[in-house]
Amino acid sequence: MYLKRLDVQGFKSFATRTSFEFGQGITAIVGPNGSGKSNIADALRWVLGEQSGRLLRARKMEDSIFAGSSKRPRADKAEVTLTLDNSDGWLPLDFAEVALSRRAYRSGESEYLINRKRVRLRDIQELLAKASVAQTSYAIIGQGLVETVLNLRPEERRFLIEEAADIQRYGLRIDEARSKLAATHENIERVKLLVKEIAPRLRHLEQQAKRAADYGRISRELSQALRAYYGHQWHHAHEMAAISRANQDQAKADFTQTKVAMEACERELAEVSKGLEDRRRSSAASAADRQRLADRIRELEQGLAVSEQRRAILEQRQQELR
């Protein structure tokens, strides 16, 4: 495994972004006590997924975020990025460089990233297990770790040896398989309980299933019958509509013919009315002439009567004179 670069920002004493370039060969970081050398090793452990506050020398996760100083405000998050050289393909990823990142916020949220893509902690652990790298492996030796290894209990020393023998990833697979097996056993127990609960009602359920099947069959038959019935009704309605349209067309033709005849009758009636009006006017004029003639005749008759009276008076006077 070849570490190319370590970028630290907001983690413990690293207030600003700090990058450590690791060249070929051995790299040594030298400094006085309290300068933050151990914080670099803690950053390595932390970005590789370490969860133990004791190994990170922090009581809680918030203690890993820069707490501020008299000249600098406290940081809102801590971020560490570890860049690994993967040109020889020792990691099962198709990248020449692999950047593992971890972020922690004061709200308690955490993020894990591989090449700036969010992943789960389990994904990083499996990737490192496949590459024979882990948080507490022999590759990272902190202060007092040698003495601690010598004083380990047998089961703890066995865990360290298994990790050095690169069988930890198989242990992770075994744990995962055991978890799946336990979940399967739980599901089997649930199924047994359900079967035990359903068994007394099995006959009733069979009847219901038969009724449901009969219902489905009858529903399909009803659907087919309704489809045929509605099809017949549609064809009948289509034929009636065609007949109605034909009757309507015939009625329109009759109406047009009747309208033409009515217009001709109206024109004839107008002509007859005009002739009748002319005759009425002529008749009125003739009646006036007759009335005038009758008045003249009456006048002449009256004049004749007066003349007759005068003649009689003259004749009577002549007789008297004789």
The burial of 37, by beta-carbon neighbours within 10 Å (0-12 exposed, 13-18 middle, 19 or more buried), is given as middle
What is the Cα–Cα distance from 304 to 124, expressed in whole angstroms? 156
Q: Which pLDDT score, from 0 to 100, does residue 241 have?
A: 92
Answer yes or no: are the C-beta atoms of 90 and 81 closer than 8 Å: no
What is the Cα–Cα distance from 26 to 22, expressed in whole angstroms? 8
Select from 3.40.50.300, 3.40.50.620, 3.30.460.80, 3.40.50.720 the CATH code of 3-135.
3.40.50.300
Q: Which pLDDT score, from 0 to 100, does residue 305 have?
A: 81
Q: What is the pTM of this model?
A: 0.48
Residues forming a β-bridge with 100: 82, 114
Q: Which pLDDT score, from 0 to 100, does residue 134 have?
A: 53
Answer yes or no: are the C-beta atoms of 134 and 163 closer than 8 Å: yes
Q: Which pLDDT score, from 0 to 100, does residue 168 have?
A: 64
Q: Which pLDDT score, from 0 to 100, does residue 144 have?
A: 63
Answer yes or no: are the C-beta atoms of 205 and 198 closer than 8 Å: yes
Q: Which pLDDT score, from 0 to 100, does residue 1 have?
A: 61
CA Rg, the chain, in Å?
A: 62
What is the Cα–Cα distance from 221 to 108, expressed in whole angstroms? 63
Q: Which pLDDT score, from 0 to 100, does residue 195 have?
A: 81
Domain boundaries, the chain: 3-135
What percent of the residues of the chain are helix, what percent strand, and what percent coil, each to the nearest 5? Answer: 60, 10, 25
Q: Which pLDDT score, from 0 to 100, does residue 46 have?
A: 87
What is the Cα–Cα distance from 262 to 268, expressed in whole angstroms? 10
Residues forming a β-bridge with 290: none
Local confidence pLDDT in tens for the 322 residues of the chain: 678 899 999 998 888 899 998 888 778 888 888 778 888 888 888 888 878 777 777 777 788 888 888 888 888 899 999 999 888 888 888 888 999 999 999 888 889 999 999 999 888 888 877 766 655 554 566 666 667 767 778 877 777 676 666 676 677 778 888 999 999 999 999 998 888 887 777 777 788 888 899 999 999 999 999 999 999 999 999 999 999 999 999 989 888 898 888 888 888 888 888 888 888 888 888 878 888 888 888 888 887 887 788 778 877 777 777 6
What is the Cα–Cα distance from 108 to 62, expressed in whole angstroms? 8
Element (DSSP H or E) covering residue 102: strand 97-105
